[in-house]
Structure 1
Amino acid sequence: MEPSPPLSAGRAEVRIVAASPEAARQVAQALRRCFASTEQRSYPAGAEGGTRLHFSVDTTHVAKPERSWLAASQSSGQDRTQMDEV
């Protein structure tokens, strides 16, 4: 295992160990909704199976907010009714 580079202020190294790759990805995705992060690296988690994910988060920069399905579905003022619409 290679040594980690020194962390700057506001950075945190995250290690997730889960029984399945999908469970680990779900936890990582939840963290990415809150903080800007680096690309994840995955590894096997030992003889009993499982997955380890490693990545860094930057707590000084929040992740860009996702638009809710309602906000994404609302029309802009530029949308116009088409001639063939009732």
Structure 2
Amino acid sequence: MDDDTLPSVSHAEVRIVAATPEVARRVAEVLRHCFASTEQRSYPAGAGGGTRLHLTLDTAHTAEPARSWLAASESTGQASAHADEV
């Protein structure tokens, strides 16, 4: 996905950065239990080692854990990016 292009309204692009591929896969598996998703794409996470994993989640097709959380959550509009993100 191009950095300037947003995903469709019912989708979210997720990037997981972890020290090992196994940790990244475990986090992705938890997300897949809550949302329908695309096949994950894995990349090296820079000179320090680690893994960067990308996947696209379909937020319109949620399982019960996500449905409950989404219904209870509310956006504050004050979310900020990490130091290495725009």
TM-score (norm 2): 0.67
Query: Any residues of structure 2 matched to 1:1-86 within 5 Å, and which?
Result: 3=2, 5-63=5-63
The separation in 2 between residues aligned to 1:43 and 1:7, in whole angstroms, is 20
Greater Rg by CA: 1
Moved >6 Å (runs of 4+): none
- Output one character per residue of 1:9-55: Cα deviation in whole Å (capped at 9) or x when no partner: 11000000000000000000000000000000000001110000001
**How far apart are 1:7 and its partner, in Å?**
1.5
Q: For residue 21 of structure 1, what is the amino acid of its counterpart?
A: P
Please name the residue that 1:77 is paired with: none
Alpha-carbon distance in structure 2 between the residues aligned to 1:63 and 1:32 = 9
**Identity across aligned pairs (percent)?**
65
Say what the alpha-carbon RMSD is for the aligned residues. 2.1
5+ residue gaps, structure 1, are 65-86
Cα distance between partner residues in 1 of 2:33 and 2:44: 25
Aligned residues: 64
Instruction: Give the TM-score of the pair, scaled to structure 1.
Output: 0.67
Instruction: Return the alpha-carbon distance in structure 2 between the equivalents of residues 59 and 42 of structure 1.
Output: 21
